[in-house]
Amino acid sequence: MDIRVEVADLANYSARAIIVNLFEGVRRPGGATGAVDKALDGAISQLIADGEIKGKLNELTLIHTFGKIPSSRVLVVGLGKQGEFSLDKVRDVSAVSLRHLRKIGVDSVATIVHGAGIGGLDPQACAQAIAEGAVMGLYRYQKLNKSSEEQAEIRELTLLELDAGKAKAFRSGVERGRILAEAANYARDMANEPANLLTPTAFAERARQLAADADLECEVFERETIENLGMGALLGVAAGSVQPPKLIVLRYMGAPDNKKTLGLLGKGITFDSGGISLKPANNMEEMKGDMSGGAAVISALWALGKLRPPINVIAVVPASENMPSGAATKPGDVLRAMNGKTIEVINTDAEGRLILADAICYARSLGLSPIIDVATLTGAMAIALGEGATGFLTTDSDLADRLIKAGETAGERMWQFPLIEEYRESLKSEVADMKNVGPRYGGAITAAQFLHEFVEDTPWAHIDMAPTDHVDKNKGYLVKGATGIPTRTLVNLVLALADKGRTKTKAK
């Protein structure tokens, strides 16, 4: 879809449909909505008076213009209560209204920048939010569905503004929003892909393609190199699968004179059966998305390659299947990680922390700091938070604050959990340096404490995205299936860290 910004009057613009908006409780529309209402001889005002249009959030009312204005349809979208309006609601409004118009076969749409006027929000941020909502809200995974070839698509979205001075800022906002949303959609595509198609090998190839498109360095380590590195935890998880493991490394070096490099690590289990500790059959098909953390990290690096901030970032994604077979790691087996620590495997379904342990060791060997790992790690985190937030734990209070802020900017709520020191005791083993699981209660925290053993004194944050990686139905700009969370949060965080570094450099 092409998203443009033009200096023009909405009421006199020709498109298959135009979108205007209305806050809840407004009786007489003003601004662009008022101008369109006047051109339609008060049709919008009459529907408000009749009680058909109330302005409630995401309320949609379609009006046919019958030649009174150049566009053939007007869609009035409710913005809800003005005092509660936010950029995330701009994303939702954009997604919901465009999906409705796509459904009825509209292929070209024009609109104003919602929230930039009476909404009181930053105009450039609003333009970015509209682009994010449009690109993410219209997302469909349609690679394997033949009927999707016959479905209509919106090919053109135009944002209109009468003030030529604002157009440049709008275009900048649209471009950033498009890149962030496309990154999230790349993560969605990978997570929605069936596991027989997105094997570790195919996952690595997808990373290579995105790296090439964004001018990133990409290196994929094969089994022999993984063995030479001593990554026994990753190899132990991969032992039960006929698919060979991979270690995917992407490099974005936007500040070559700066020796400091951030590490983004992502869990890349392309299918998780649980291994010998087999999962229940119910909903096991969703375990094709157990590489969502890795997909988010790879996609975030693609976005950074497009945005080119002055910062260095290396992504490390260990990729494997977790399958049961005669060769699979068994409960009670002991694995040796890259740093030499031995791990007694109590539950083979706690495999994500095993592959991340080796990824963390590798990241530390490169001197990456801080290290941020992203994983669909525990059901315990999903039980604790439901679908409303992504949990994280960290050793760095400044990083925590920045992560929460980055999530707020993206509309992806991040919630900090305590890294309770006493829980490390539950990971002690009688036959190895540690166990891979502790007791049932506090499972998200003990999982983080397991990873903490490998991070040691490096500044670190662990993002457990299990609550938010998937939705069961459309919800605003989140479409049924993989969400792409927290791709945009990661990008926002890196951009904020790059700005922090730029400010420090200027101060010197």
pLDDT in tens, 474-502: 999 999 999 999 999 999 999 999 998 76
Please state at what angle helix 292-307 crosses helix 200-213, rounded to 10 degrees. 10
pLDDT of 143 > 90? The answer is no
Residue pair 160/27 in contact by the 8 Å Cβ criterion: no
pLDDT of residue 238: 98
pLDDT at residue 3 tops 80: yes
User: Using CA atoms, how far apart are residues 296 and 293, in angstroms rounded to an integer?
Assistant: 5
pLDDT at 107 over 70: yes
Q: Nearest to residue 410, comparing CAs of 500, 493, 314?
A: 493
User: For residues 188 and 182, what is the distance between their CA atoms, to the nearest angstrom?
Assistant: 10
Is residue 282 helix, strand or coil? coil
Structural contact between residues 116 and 93, judged by C-beta atoms closer than 8 angstroms = no
The active-site residue out of 206, 246, 267, 353 is 353
- Catalytic residue list contains 405: no
Q: Residue 147 gets which letter from DSSP? A: G
* Gap between the Cα atoms of 266 and 463, Å rounded: 10
Rounded-to-integer distance, Cα 249 and Cα 238, Å: 18
Q: Residue 173 and residue 54: Cα distance in Å, rounded? A: 30
Q: For residues 298 and 113, which has the higher predicted lDDT (pLDDT)?
A: 298
Which of 148, 368, 402 shows the shortest CA–CA distance to 265? 368
pLDDT band at 505 (very low <50, low <70, confident <90, very high): low
The residue among 170, 359, 358 whose CA lies nearest residue 264 is: 359
Supply the DSSP symbol for 478.
B
Report the distance separating Cα 499 and Cα 501, nearest Å: 5
What residue spans in the chain does CATH classification 3.40.220.10 cover?
A: 2-183
Q: Is the peptide bond before 200 cis (omega within 30 degrees of 0)?
A: no
Residue of 68, 279, 330, 502 marked catalytic: 279
The fold of 193-502 is Aminopeptidase (3.40.630)
Backbone angles phi, psi at 312, to 5 degrees: -105, 130
Q: How far apart are CA 154 and CA 150, in angstroms?
A: 13
pLDDT of residue 145: 83
Q: Are 190 and 206 in contact (CB under 8 A)?
A: yes
| pLDDT for the residue 118 | 66
Q: What is the pTM of this model?
A: 0.96
Q: Give the rounded percent of residues in the chain with a pLDDT score beyond 90.
A: 93
Task: Respond yes or no: is residue 208 known to be catalytic.
Answer: no
| Amino acid making up residue 62 | L
Q: Start-end ranges of CATH 3.40.630.10 in the chain?
A: 193-502
Residue 349: pLDDT above 70? Answer: yes
Tell me how far apart the alpha carbons of residues 209 and 202 are, in angstroms, rounded to a whole number: 10
Q: Does domain 2-183 have CATH number 3.40.50.2300?
A: no
Dist CA 182 CA 132 (whole Å): 8
Model confidence band, residue 155 (pLDDT cutoffs 50, 70, 90): very high
Dump pLDDT digits (tens) for 64-101: 999 999 999 999 999 999 999 999 999 999 999 999 99
